[in-house]
Chains A and B, each alone.
Chain A
């Protein structure tokens, strides 16, 4: 891509670069003159939605961000939270949606690379990756192509760079067909004293660019790809996708951490969206300085690159270090040892300006004789004082699809043969749910991910939250990422709040306390009032839930314009949480120990099937409504679980989420290889009791001797506790007894009221093969099941 000068007659340059007429006027006001072409290109990437958050900034300002242990919050490359013993954890979630839609392998791979750089730039060694992937209908060829490419991209990059991929989410929903989501979370561990900021302090200091050379890949990725809606011609945007080199990234990690640990750098920034322009302007603006860039000193892959291409290229695996003259030789030595090209590309100045010079700088850092200045922009104008748009929000007239009235079975879509009907026997429904591509075994994906490199993975099995031990301590880190897209589609406020609730519970069931929240806000075109309303509601839900649960939001990312010609995505507030286990030996896993354990349910169901996977497969019913979320009750449950773990009262714990209580119980049985004999009181809508996805519930097993202690603890915490039965046998049996209705037989024919009794072999077959079946991979074989030791 070149600046389309030839098209100037047809389209003004600023519009070709994605800058509106109004934004051009604002740029002219900032500069007191018209920008030249290079300056305009720099503004176009920095004022893109992706870099400037120009639509979301006013909303994000409402989020709670403070906490006593927060060391670095939003605005830094990643959030950092203290975990004691002088240690801290850095974590962040980020999207790479549009690049992955255009070029799935490289899009996903560079998504992993980008978020890892955010972590080690802070001084933390990356210890875990989680990926949240959302696609359209898995039976479509296009979806299958995207799934294969994205999974291989995550695997190819993460495995090579040597950071374990230990968890995540995989969701299929028609709204993602034209615009898949690839959100990647990375977690790192550091000594707090090594915390490094992305700043350019000290006029006279040197700006050193190290890592890969600068090429023509990813030109305009931030503006062209990330900040516009997809059209039919998205394949032509392939040159805007960056190309990843995990081997270079591995060298970059080791060199960067060595530079930080030896105290050789004053500031460090990775190069991502908007490349060098972003790195120099952000570091300078944060430090209240400027940077004079020696354009000719930037190592390039091609000799004939235009200045604007060099300045906005998104070539991967590059870092910018701010270095004193005394430390420069040491910095260059470290880079040379790791085979990383490094060059001094500029000087920190005190004028607050980003100046681009060709013709070289002299020894004092001033432009050399005969040098020319190509651009001169206040750093703040590109970053902290970038334009902000007050978008218009409007609630849609109809907030949920209207269910077909009267007869529920009529609502079953004809196009879905073989799906269970409402009122069908619950064993068949459970089987279908366990085989649903959103709920079944993720082994088809996770077997391609190295989950144990690093030798710190305690649980990377896909069974609940991932657990990483902190070497040299008794501590463990528990991490999860969740969203509630089906709920978000009906109520974006509730969808975001649900995501926080589910993610906190995923972490708490292990006995961990959540440290903080990161998020990725994936929404549609903010210039469309309905889509902006969804974003506004999502941010409100995220903030409300985090405030109620006392959790700081330490960072995140906003991805807008997630729309294709056909449809906008379901509003997706992806939440990522890291929790701390002080004593990893007290960790509670999701797998019961064997037969003879009591099975119980903590928390009370809030009824409602809307937004559930049950409705996805059985069709909507006339009375479907959304479950509610009681944040105070949820907070009580979050307090209870670590206390119960601390006292050693729980053998296993699994949160109730997709597919409801029946799926949570079935998973525990499948993973332990031991069945269960249970009795469940059901109300007027047994399907809701079994398969409803109301929040704030945890299925647990415990030694019978510990029942009284758990009951006392639960009563003191105000959390309902209900005994369900015990583990044993080789099938899952759930006897349904009437509770609040005359008899369950009244419900026969209208709802599910038959007892559930299905052998684990049948359930396992559904669970094991769900994903390869959905993706049409007949050759795939599950591993033989052996109890894990």
Chain B
């Protein structure tokens, strides 16, 4: 599996994501924000950080960067796309996933370990996660308070667009509507989440639950390759 991690100026979890992908046997490489070549990525990751400094609004500038055209095309073709933290904010700003991320209800940056309930096990991002498993990983953000108008939330729930929810005992850390921590686009191939699976990729760091997410993608890529053999990526 090939994992391309987009590097915006100000990305600061790119190296972590590149490393975590290697732990599930993937080949990972950075994609510079000025490049439009995703180099045959099976999975594109928009990593955490403060793209372009986030001085305007988290993710507001990154969506205009040259790489985002290629990323949009990749997603439109059903390519797998994962936005983590600031990457989720960029996806939301770009309209690639529904919703917006507001300032945390505490009005502070929040760093802590949270627990996630997995709402669906039939997505490319969750298929390897055993039923009933809660995922433990850290959050670290100032703007992670998921927002949609009530009616749109109902529609999102009806279309099963919610994939991760904050759960007890730690609970909802940022005021997100309906405890939403991660969502899917309508196609189910683009996922955005605030918590950091790449920081929960080894036992020594406190949890390796994040690997389940990456293993799901590996399985999913392998399965789709079996069904419809495609040209080997150079």
Q: Please give the residue numbers on chain A whose beta carbons come within 8 Å of chain B beta carbons, in ascending order.
A: 155-156, 159-162, 245-248, 250-251, 338-339, 446-458, 469, 471, 584-585, 783-786, 788-789
Q: What residues of B have a CB within 8 angstroms of the CB of A245 in the complex?
A: 53
* A-side contacts of B219, CB under 8 Å: none
B199 to chain A, nearest CB (A): 5
B196: chain A residues within 8 A (beta carbon)? 452
A449 to B111, CA, bound (A): 6
Given contacts A245-B53, A784-B171, contact A789 B207 (CB under 8 A): yes
CB–CB B140/A159 < 8 A: yes
Which residues of B (75-129) have their CB < 8 Å from a CB of A? 108-113
B204: chain A residues within 8 A (beta carbon): 458, 469, 584-585
Q: How far is the CA of A247 from the CA of B13 in the complex (A)?
A: 14
A selection of 26 A-B contacts at a CB cut-off of 8 Å is: A155-B109, A159-B140, A162-B49, A247-B55, A250-B9, A250-B10, A250-B12, A338-B9, A446-B111, A447-B111, A448-B110, A448-B111, A452-B138, A452-B140, A452-B205, A453-B199, A454-B15, A455-B20, A455-B198, A455-B202, A456-B205, A458-B204, A471-B19, A784-B169, A786-B170, A789-B206
**Chain A minimum-CB-distance residue to B12:** A162
Using Cβ atoms and an 8 Å threshold, which residues of chain B touch A246? Answer: 50, 53
State the main secondary structure of chain B at its contact with A.
mixed
Q: Which residues of B contact A786 (CB under 8 A)?
A: 169-170
The answer to whether B110 and A447 have CB atoms under 8 Å apart is: yes
Residues in chain B near residue A784, CB distance under 8 A: 168-171
In the complex, the 6 A-B pairs of residues with the closest C-beta atoms, listed nearest first: A162-B12, A247-B53, A455-B16, A450-B140, A784-B169, A786-B169
CB-CB contacts of B184-207 with A at 8 A, as 1s and 0s? 000000000000101101101111
Known interface pairs A448-B109, A448-B110; A453-B140 also in contact (CB < 8 Å): yes
Once A458-B204, A789-B136 are accepted as A-B contacts, the answer to whether A451 and B111 lie under 8 Å apart by CB is yes
Which of B49, B108, B170 contacts A783 (CB under 8 A)?
B170
Q: Among A247, A447, A454, A789, which residue has its beta carbon within 8 angstroms of that of B108?
A: A447
Q: How large is the interface on B (under 10, 10 to 19, 20 to 34, 35 or more residues)?
A: 35 or more
Q: How long is the Cα–Cα vector from A446 to B110 in the complex, in angstroms? A: 9
Distance from A731 Cβ to chain B, minimum over Cβ atoms (Å): 21
Residues of B1-45 at the interface with A, using a CB-CB cut-off of 8 Å, are 9-10, 12-13, 15-16, 19-20
- Cβ of B199 and Cβ of A452 under 8 Å apart? yes
- Chain B neighbourhood of A449, CB < 8 A: 109, 111
A161 and B138 within 8 A (CB): no
Q: List residues of chain A with CB within 8 A of the CB of B48.
A: 453
- Give the distance to chain A from B160, nearest Cβ to Cβ, in Å: 28
- Cα-based distance from A448 to B111 in the complex (angstroms): 6
Q: A245-B53, A246-B50, A784-B168 are in contact. Are A453 and B109 (CB under 8 A)?
A: no
Closest to A250 in B: B10
A138 to B95, CA, bound (A): 45
Q: A residues within 8 A CB of B136?
A: 789
The CB with the most chain B CB atoms within 10 A, among A160, A245, A449, is that of: A160
Q: Mark B136-150, 1 if CB is under 8 A from A, else 0.
A: 101010100000000
Across-interface contacts of A162 in B (CB, < 8 A): 12-13, 49
Contacts of A161 in B (CB 8 A): 12
Contact of A247 among B20, B52, B111, B168 (CB under 8 A): B52
- CB-based nearest B residue for A584: B204
Chain A residues near B142 (CB-CB < 8 A):
159
Of A247, A448, A471, which contacts B10 at CB under 8 A?
Answer: A247
Given contacts A453-B16, A789-B207, is CB(A159)–CB(B109) below 8 Å? yes
B16 touches A454 (CB 8 A): yes
